[in-house]
Amino acid sequence: MLGWQDPRELIEVLPHKEAQAIQKNLGYRTVAELLEHYPRRYSRHGDIGDLEHATEGDTITFLGTVTSAQVLRTGRKTRLQLRVAHETRSLSVTYFQSSYAQRVLSEGAVVMFAGRLSFFRHAPQLVQPNFYILQPGPHSSARGGEGTGILKAIAAYGSSASHIKQQLLDREYLPIYPATAKLASWRIMAAIHHVLEKTPPIPEPLGTPPAGLPEFDAAIRGVHEPGEEGPDRYIERLKYHEALALALVMALRRADNQRRRAPQCPRKDGGRQEQLAQHLPFELTRGQRDVVSEISTDLATDTPMSRLLQGDVGSGKTVVALLAMLQVVDSGRQCALLAPTEVLATQHARSLLSLLNQCGVAASVVVLSGSMSTAAKRESLLAVISGQADIVVGTHALIQDGVEFFDLGLVVVDEQHRFGVEQRDRLRNQGRDDLIPHVLVMTATPIPRTIAMTVFGDLSISNLRELPRGRQLIQTTVVPVERTSWLARVDERIREEVAAGRQVYIVCPRIDNDGGVVDYYHAVTGPGGVFADLSVGLLHGRLSGEEKDLVMRRFHRGDLDILIATTVIEVGVDVPNATMMVIREAENFGISQLHQLRGRVGRGSHESLCLLLTEAEVGSPAHQRLLAVQSTTDGFLLAEEDLRFREEGDVLGTRQSGHTRSLKLLSLLSDVQIIQRTHKDAARLVKDDKSTALRLAAQDYHPDYGYLDKS
Ligand code: ADP
Ligand code: MG
């Protein structure tokens, strides 16, 4: 964590078995990693609030005195029925066929129970919970310390019963940790307690703690073992720390960006940019004009542009990018346009060329894709290196593979809001004569301000909210598939659309298996299939680049009536004559994804229709997501809605990457004030004391950014 490391191995500090269990179940090896495993919540003893708010199935802890213990028999089966009370609250506890429990749990015993809560006629009960005897009953043969399962694990520390009592009983707030089936919260708690005891006071990493917040050492201890004051202040301090780490990276990058130089590409009178603008087959929207002029100003200076362009699906980002690129081409430099998929890269190249041709603008556009033949690739590469290619279109791999440009002035990154700092850093080495190219990142998934600040704190942001005029309405309808009559109607509707001369997308959530594109394609096009008489194409990620390209081209030309595809068509694909989309098993997709998919229709002069086929039950979160998509086509609204259903890991793109999440406590959505504060604090620190800023950031490993480059 920022400015603090504790590389001691857990093996050195904890009993062997516990250290191993932690490594195996949580993947932690060092003390710092374990100490950053923060409680998910806290429970308070015999806290009726907790009990009342707990619902069926919650794991709860209850500490109390056994007020009655009865062994009941039915035939040969026995059942121990306990009543356990703490002050005014009581709970029933049942054990079946347990002679051990019958022997050691007796009236008067003080016992801690941990188990799953259930309700019997509205009365709370625990069935077969784990238990730990803190004080045996007066007439019992138990000595205290008897127990089962997880509670017993605490004894691994060789502590006496009274020590455990102190640990468990005297705490006002009991931390409940994210746990696994094999490693219960209790064992984690005991391990962390032990580690904290063996950890000397941690020096304040920031020199002095931020005003109004506790010291770092107090915060780390307090978050795990808060006193009567509760954990809130400590959590806030640690959130501040997490936010500051992100903010520092951005502040340092901003400072660094200011220092670097980019090629100056001023607007040229009578240039190709102007020529395109004058001959476009449509009028630019006001939003488009504003953004073009913002970008144009940026490009004219030698401060590297870092701009994020957010614009809903269909808002016309491509032409904005092309106008920007032509300004750079006008000053004799090259541009790269990066797309997330090959399908999109080829389509981009095609639509750029067609716009250029329509407007009579001469600029050479070259495609570079992984699946090109070696010869074709060599030819493209040559054009790139020699400077013959003005605009190079490819996938993000273009950058990863370190393609060399003759003189790269601008990089446009399309549909990639996860195009993180690291990737952008690679671009820096691409320029010529120590100049770094300008960067424009485009996305149709708007990002809330706080997230933009943290993830893209070094980018300026432009928004494109309005859609070009004449955009057609998309009527969206959720269709429950259990109604066979509706399903038949869907197929009929598809045929009507085709009969009217339009084209239809059918999207499936997977390639193989039941419900996959391959099966579905064969079922509907094979002998007797519903679309056997129509011209149907199949598109998915496993096809070769050439095959994909061929299918897309046929669909574009109108040779195909129906395109059955996976989400490879999710972004960017632009076929105005396609007016209907059917998404099968729509519950498999998130809101933003559905919105993106739907954006493939409604692009021409005809009204469009999107059907969301689903098995999701009414009222389930999945069904609610679909209703949200049905209710509006406003991408900004849907993006917010989407965030409510998702975790931030998703937003940051760290969840899939296999890294542990970097943010443990901070919520990018709700901790707005902390984020804003650290944003300012980081900027000040970088300005006033850059070496400290660098030192702090250098000690912080961020899964998205790696260790910050100190150079
Ligand atoms: P996105 O922002 O989703 O990438 P595109 O750039 O693909 O959107 O634009 C979608 C379609 O709208 C394209 O066919 C494009 O030519 C067209 N378009 C762009 N700007 C305008 C405009 N101002 N008026 C009419 N059509 C436009
Ligand atoms: Mg696009």
In a domain, 639, yes or no: no
In a domain, 422, yes or no: yes
Q: Note whether 483 and 600 are same-domain residues.
A: yes
Q: Is the CB of 596 under 6 A from ligand 1?
A: no
Q: Read out DSSP for 437-462?
A: -EEEEEESS---HHHHHHHSTTSEEE
Residue with CA at minimum distance from ligand 1 atom 4: 317
CA of 415 to the centre of ligand 2 (A): 7
CA of 468 to the centre of ligand 1 (A): 7
Q: Note whether 36 and 52 are same-domain residues.
A: no
CA of 447 to the centre of ligand 1 (A): 21
pLDDT reported for residue 651: 46
Q: Taking a C-beta distance cutoff of 8 angstroms, is the pair 22, 188 a contact?
A: yes
Any idea which residue has 């399908």 for tokens? 343
> How long, in residues, is the chain?
711
Q: Taking a C-beta distance cutoff of 8 angstroms, is the pair 290, 315 a contact?
A: no
pLDDT reported for residue 244: 92
Among 605, 632, 659, give the residue marking a domain's end. Answer: 632
Q: Note whether 367 and 448 are same-domain residues.
A: yes
Q: Is the CB of 431 under 6 A from ligand 1?
A: no
Which ligand 1 atom is at minimum distance from the Cα of 321? 6
Distance CA 698, CA 710 (A): 7
Residues whose CB is less than 8 angstroms from the CB of residue 506 and which lie 6 or more positions away in sequence, other chains included: 494, 520, 562, 563, 564, 565, 581, 582, 584
pLDDT reported for residue 627: 94
Q: Note whether 424 and 331 are same-domain residues.
A: yes
Q: Is the CB of 558 under 6 A from ligand 1?
A: no
Q: Note whether 433 and 290 are same-domain residues.
A: yes
pLDDT reported for residue 222: 96
Q: Note whether 90 and 111 are same-domain residues.
A: yes
Q: Is the CB of 566 under 6 A from ligand 1?
A: no
pLDDT reported for residue 699: 62
CA of 599 to the centre of ligand 2 (A): 10
**Most informative mutation of 276, 319, 393, 569 for ligand 1 (most atoms within 8 A of CB):** 319
CA of 320 to the centre of ligand 1 (A): 9
Which ligand 1 atom is at minimum distance from the Cα of 285? 23
Residue 410: phi and psi, rounded to 5, are -150, 135
Q: Is the CB of 317 under 6 A from ligand 1?
A: yes
Distance CA 434, CA 485 (A): 66
3-state SS of 30-85 is EHHHHHCCCCCEEECCCCHHHHHHCCCCCEEEEEEEEEEEEEEEECCEEEEEEEEE
Query: Dihedral, CA atoms, 53, 59, 63, 68, nearest 10 degrees?
Result: 90
In a domain, 657, yes or no: no
In a domain, 649, yes or no: no
Core vs surface per residue 612-640: b (16+ CB within 10 A) or e: bbbebeeeeebbbbbebbeeebebeebbe
Q: Is the CB of 319 under 6 A from ligand 1?
A: yes
Q: Is the CB of 311 under 6 A from ligand 1?
A: yes
Q: Note whether 318 and 225 are same-domain residues.
A: no
pLDDT tens-place string over residues 300-348: 999 999 898 988 877 899 999 999 999 999 999 999 999 887 878 888 8
Distance CA 539, CA 343 (A): 10
Distance CA 515, CA 508 (A): 7
pLDDT reported for residue 130: 85
Q: Is the CB of 466 under 6 A from ligand 1?
A: no
pLDDT tens-place string over residues 553-599: 999 999 999 999 998 886 667 899 999 999 999 999 888 889 889 98
Q: Note whether 508 and 609 are same-domain residues.
A: yes
Distance CA 569, CA 586 (A): 15
Residue with CA at minimum distance from ligand 1 atom 10: 314
Angle between helices 635-645 and 591-598 (to 10 degrees): 150
Q: Note whether 502 and 539 are same-domain residues.
A: yes
CATH code, domain with 82: 2.40.50.140
CATH code, domain with 310: 3.40.50.300
- Other Cβ atoms less than 10 A from the Cβ of 138: the count is 9
Residue with CA at minimum distance from ligand 1 atom 5: 316
CA of 292 to the centre of ligand 2 (A): 16
Which ligand 1 atom is at minimum distance from the Cα of 317? 2
CA of 552 to the centre of ligand 1 (A): 19
Among 608, 632, 656, give the residue marking a domain's end. Answer: 632
pLDDT reported for residue 156: 66
Any idea which residue has 């009990």 for tokens? 51
pTM above 0.85, yes or no: no
Q: Is the CB of 43 under 6 A from ligand 1?
A: no
Q: Is the CB of 355 under 6 A from ligand 1?
A: no
- Which residues does the chain have with pLDDT short of 50? 48-49, 160-161, 648-661, 701-711
Distance CA 247, CA 163 (A): 42
Strand partners, 261: 435
Which ligand 1 atom is at minimum distance from the Cα of 288? 23
Alpha carbon 328 to its chain's center: 34
Which ligand 1 atom is at minimum distance from the Cα of 415? 4
Any idea which residue has 């593979």 for tokens? 401
Residue 577: phi and psi, rounded to 5, are -80, -5
Q: How many domains in the chain?
A: 5
Q: Note whether 338 and 459 are same-domain residues.
A: yes
CA distances from 238 to 143, 210, 234, 300, 703 (A): 42, 11, 6, 42, 18
Residue 497 in tokens? 């659309």
Q: Is the CB of 282 under 6 A from ligand 1?
A: yes
State the first-to-last Cα distance of the chain, in angstroms, to the nearest integer: 21
Helices within 199-315 (DSSP H only): 216-224, 232-259, 272-279, 286-300
**Most informative mutation of 282, 569, 605 for ligand 1 (most atoms within 8 A of CB):** 282
Side chain identity, residue 697: A
Ligand closest to the CA atom of residue 351: 1
Distance CA 330, CA 110 (A): 83
pLDDT reported for residue 422: 62
Helices within 389-538 (DSSP H only): 397-400, 421-427, 449-455, 484-499, 517-525
567: DSSP letter: G
Residue 292: phi and psi, rounded to 5, are -60, -40
Distance CA 84, CA 79 (A): 16
pLDDT reported for residue 49: 44
Q: Which structural domain range is residue 189 located in?
A: 1-40+177-199
Angle between helices 545-557 and 342-358 (to 10 degrees): 50
- With 0-12 / 13-18 / 19 or more C-beta atoms within 10 angstroms meaning exposed / middle / buried, residue 219 is buried
pLDDT reported for residue 363: 96
Q: Taking a C-beta distance cutoff of 8 angstroms, is the pair 37, 178 a contact?
A: yes
Sign of CA dihedral 299, 301, 306, 311: negative
In a domain, 109, yes or no: yes
CA of 317 to the centre of ligand 2 (A): 6
In a domain, 640, yes or no: no
pLDDT reported for residue 696: 83
Which ligand 1 atom is at minimum distance from the Cα of 470? 25
Any idea which residue has 């005003």 for tokens? 211
Ligand closest to the CA atom of residue 311: 1
Q: Is the CB of 318 under 6 A from ligand 1?
A: yes
Q: Note whether 678 and 627 are same-domain residues.
A: no
- Other Cβ atoms less than 10 A from the Cβ of 500: the count is 10
In a domain, 663, yes or no: no
- Of 627, 613, 592, 609, which is closest to residue 515 (Cα–Cα)? 613
In a domain, 655, yes or no: no
Ligand closest to the CA atom of residue 315: 1
Q: Note whether 429 and 309 are same-domain residues.
A: yes
Q: Is the CB of 582 under 6 A from ligand 1?
A: no
Q: Is the CB of 468 under 6 A from ligand 1?
A: yes
Beta-carbon-side half-sphere exposure of residue 128 (alpha carbons within 13 Å): 5
CA of 314 to the centre of ligand 1 (A): 5
Residue with CA at minimum distance from ligand 1 atom 19: 316
